[in-house]
Amino acid sequence: MLLAIDIGNTAISLGVLKKGMVTRRYAAPTAGTQRERHLHLQRLFQKIRHQYPSLESVIICSVVPEVLKIVEPMVRRQLCVKPLVVGRDIEVPIQNNYKNPRQVGHDRLVGAYAAKCLYGCPCLVIDFGTAITFDVVSRKGAYEGGIILPGLRLSTEALFQKTALLPRIEEIKIPRALIGRETQESILSGIFNGYGAMCRGLIDLIAAEIHSRPQVIVTGGYTQLMKKFIAKKIDHMDSDLVLKGMLLLQTSCIKKKS
């Protein structure tokens, strides 16, 4: 049994994994004051400790260093477990062909490794999160790099902050029509139809670049909303891809030790 903790820019996702499956999920916002974050996490860890008193393994993957500094000692105190941190205590066993390998977010590497193991190569992981990332794994199983774009929420916030008259979009939701009849609908149509067309085009460009049709795996918080706009290009939807990747890392470590 493993508790996997994925610290992202918007949310902290936690999953209890057993026999290759996520059996229970938890979440906490990354944003907020330090006190708010601490109280929220404290309640979560108390619940987890009560539900899983025999929990012995925790792996953390983080792209927010200041939040990792809060979460790691809380795991030690609340769960009485010494967690393994991806990139420090445990390396992702995938060849990294980035010019500067340290520039790649650990979550991207873990997702690429999970996609490689679970769905085969070549593959392309699209993560619809705070940012939208495309990560390419070659036919030989190496991480080749990718593409980074501002996510849906970031794009709507940029329009609101950098224009005088465009409104803030309070709820990211699928537009009713392609041609908007009001400003909010026009923005939502631009975001969803625009990103959908762009993603479809980028998938084709990447396939031509690597001279192969990759398995396309989509993950991230906005996956369900974007599904309609790239459905014909998707091979697999896996909202737990990074969490499953951490379980695969644990399995890899156990095999090495044995």
**Predicted model pTM:** 0.93
Same domain, 107 and 213: yes
Alpha-carbon distance of 86 to 4, in angstroms, equals: 11
Angle between helices 106-119 and 241-257 (to 10 degrees): 80
Confidence (pLDDT) at 87 = 95
Same domain, 222 and 119: yes
DSSP SS3 for 5: strand
The DSSP code for 2 is E
Our count of domains for the chain comes to 2
pLDDT of 258 > 60? The answer is no
In the chain the beta strands, taken as DSSP E runs, fall at 2-7, 11-18, 21-29, 58-62, 84-85, 123-128, 131-137, 143-150, 215-219, 236-237
pLDDT of 257 > 80? The answer is no
Band the pLDDT of 252: cuts 50, 70, 90: confident
Decide which of 57, 89, 121 is a domain's last residue: 89
pLDDT of 65 > 70? The answer is yes
Same domain, 35 and 113: no
Band the pLDDT of 34: cuts 50, 70, 90: confident
Confidence (pLDDT) at 255 = 63
Same domain, 233 and 124: yes
- As annotated, the active-site residues are 107
Same domain, 72 and 125: no
Considering the domain boundaries, does residue 71 fall inside one?
yes
- Per residue in 190-213, pLDDT (tens digit) is 999 999 999 999 999 999 999 999
Instruction: Return the minimum-mean-pLDDT range out of 184-193, 199-208, 248-257.
Output: 248-257
Show the domain range for 156.
101-246
pLDDT of 86 > 80? The answer is yes
Confidence (pLDDT) at 38 = 87
The count of residues in the chain is: 258
Q: What angle do CA 62, 67, 68 make, to 5 degrees?
A: 50
Considering the domain boundaries, does residue 257 fall inside one?
no
